[in-house]
Amino acid sequence: MSELPFAATTPVSVARVGLKARDAENLAAYYRAVVGLQELSRADGAITLGAAGRPLLVLE
């Protein structure tokens, strides 16, 4: 019997993802409407979206 590889048995998570966009406002609207993320903050030209108060996506 073979063992599962390390990658198949180790938990993985992503804290947050950052994207540079030509139109961050339009992209934020997409993620709110289609994916269901909520706008958490805006600062220095960046829009932070997330769920349950947890930041998941930063659009610049």
Give how many domains the chain has, as a whole number: 1
Domain presence at residue 52: yes
Domain span at 53: 14-59
Q: CA–CA separation, 50 vs 31, rounded Å? A: 9
In a domain, residue 2? The reply is no
Q: Which residue has the higher pLDDT, 43 or 9?
A: 43
For residue 2, what pLDDT is reported? 67
Instruction: Output the pTM of the full model.
Output: 0.79
Alpha helices for the chain (secondary structure H): 6-9, 24-30
| 54 is a domain residue | yes
> In this structure, is residue 1 part of a structural domain?
no
Q: What is the pLDDT of residues 11-35, one digit of tens each?
A: 888 889 999 999 999 999 999 999 9
Mean per-residue pLDDT over the chain, rounded: 92
Separation CA 48–CA 14 (nearest Å): 15
Q: Is the pLDDT at 51 greater than 90, yes or no?
A: yes
Cα 19 to Cα 6, 8, 10, 16, 43, distances in angstroms: 29, 28, 26, 10, 15
